[in-house]
Amino acid sequence: MDAGHNAPEPRYWEKLRTIAGILRELEGPIVVVSHVDPDGDAIGSSLGLARALRTLDKDVRWIAEPPRFLRFLAREDEYADPVEHLPEGATLVVLDAAEPGRVAGAPVEGFVVNIDHHGTNPRFGYLALVDPSKAATAQIVKDLIDTLEVPWSSDIATPVLTGLITDTGNFRFSNTTPEVLRTAAELVGYGVHLAELTDRLQWRPPGYYKAMGAVLSTVEFHFGGLLVTAHMPPGVSVEDSDDFVGLIRYAEGSQIAVFLREREEGVVKLSIRSRGGLSAQAVAVRLGGGGHVPAAGATLRGVTLAQAYPQVLAAVEEELRRLGYI
Ligand code: 5GP
Ligand code: MN
């Protein structure tokens, strides 16, 4: 991927002011959604914005299906059901969705505001604020809530901070900029119970730990150890399996890690991580997916797990050659 793909949005604050102005004036329903397989940033940024807009007495519908480990963030009465059509006169605010096809819970139609930080986002929607220099969509939502002049509370700050925590890998990844740390400090200052929040975010169901053993028994090294792979063995299924790529990515000597999971028959989801100048994003794009340079993903259709492996190896090989590793 060219670097320009991840360049900051030059009219960031101008666009934020435009979006804030529009949201403030809206009288119709505001439908807030994010992406399929939502992560902490998808849930955190959308719930934070939904709560902020509710304080402005807007008719807000937050449509989300959080994974088990994030469900503690929201109350039962905060959810709205997925819709096939938007309500009359509604505005759709889409958060953290890299492409229109990944939007979950509502059709991408009518007046769409697209707020995201994925470089591969095609800037869909009537208004698109896509800033790949931001660590998380939650960072953009933090700035939007400031621009809306909504008073901060721990209720609003907690999901927003969650997005920052999860997308920076607990403030460890290269996207952990001084801006991220300053924003996190500010959000903690609004009354977030940080230790409680980070503890809850790590809770996993008991079956997860059994599955971890099964996954680790599939670890394989390729290209002299430059690539490490693992998959979810057929028959093993567990909620909150998305972070299994994190179990293998620190294998010494590896530059790329790929975790494969057959989501349903013929549909294989890939989680890809990279370091050392290699681009997980470039590998993902070759396989029809997208994401960020160090963390990306793709969904292969019409393949079994066994058929997915050669495709992954070919895409990774191309990336290793491009950078002169092999
Ligand atoms: P994860 O591996 O954690 O699911 O995803 C890592 C990153 O890649 C996320 O930013 C996510 O949005 C992106 N990503 C994951 N799966 C896909 C996919 O199937 N298509 C696209 N375009 N992006 C994906
Ligand atoms: Mn994100």
Indicate the number of domains in the chain.
Answer: 2
Question: How does the average pLDDT of the chain come out, rounded?
Answer: 95
- What are the CB-based long-range contacts (under 8 Å, 24+) for 199-206? 200/69, 200/72, 201/40, 201/69, 201/70, 201/162, 201/165, 201/166, 202/69, 203/69, 204/69, 204/240, 205/68, 205/238, 205/239, 205/240
Q: Is the pLDDT of residue 158 over 70?
A: yes
Q: How far apart are CA 276 and CA 291, in angstroms?
A: 17
Supply 118's token pair. Answer: 């994925």
Residue 292 Cβ inside 6 Å of ligand 1? The answer reads: yes
CATH number at residue 118: 3.90.1640.10
Beta bridge partners of 92: 31, 112
Same domain, 113 and 229: no
Phi/psi for 131 (5° steps) reads -125, 95
CATH number at residue 255: 3.10.310.30
Residue 67, class by beta-carbon neighbours within 10 Å (0-12 exposed, 13-18 middle, 19+ buried)? Answer: middle
Residue 141, class by beta-carbon neighbours within 10 Å (0-12 exposed, 13-18 middle, 19+ buried)? Answer: buried
What pLDDT was estimated at residue 3? 39
Q: Which tens digits make up the pLDDT trace of 187-208? A: 999 999 999 999 999 999 999 9
CA diameter of the chain: 60
Atom of ligand 1 nearest to the CA of 269: 19
Q: Which tens digits make up the pLDDT trace of 4-40? A: 457 899 999 999 999 999 999 999 999 999 999 999 9
What pLDDT was estimated at residue 41? 98
Q: How far apart are CA 218 and CA 240, in angstroms?
A: 18
Same domain, 196 and 246: no
Residue whose tokens read 């290269």: 174
Any domain includes 7: no
Q: Is the pTM of this model over 0.75?
A: yes
Identify the domain containing residue 60 by its residue range.
12-200
Residue 300 Cβ inside 6 Å of ligand 1? The answer reads: no
Calculate helix-pair angle for 154-167, 178-189, nearest 10 degrees: 150
Q: Which of 148, 177, 200 is the endpoint of a domain?
A: 200
Same domain, 56 and 153: yes
Q: Is the pLDDT of residue 2 over 80?
A: no
Same domain, 233 and 263: yes
Q: Which of 200, 224, 245 is the endpoint of a domain?
A: 200
What pLDDT was estimated at residue 101? 96
Same domain, 176 and 297: no
Among 37, 118, 168, 311, residue to substitute to test ligand 1 (most atoms within 8 Å of Cβ): 118
Instruction: Determine the distance separating the centroid of ligand 1 and the alpha carbon of 148, expressed in angstroms.
Output: 29
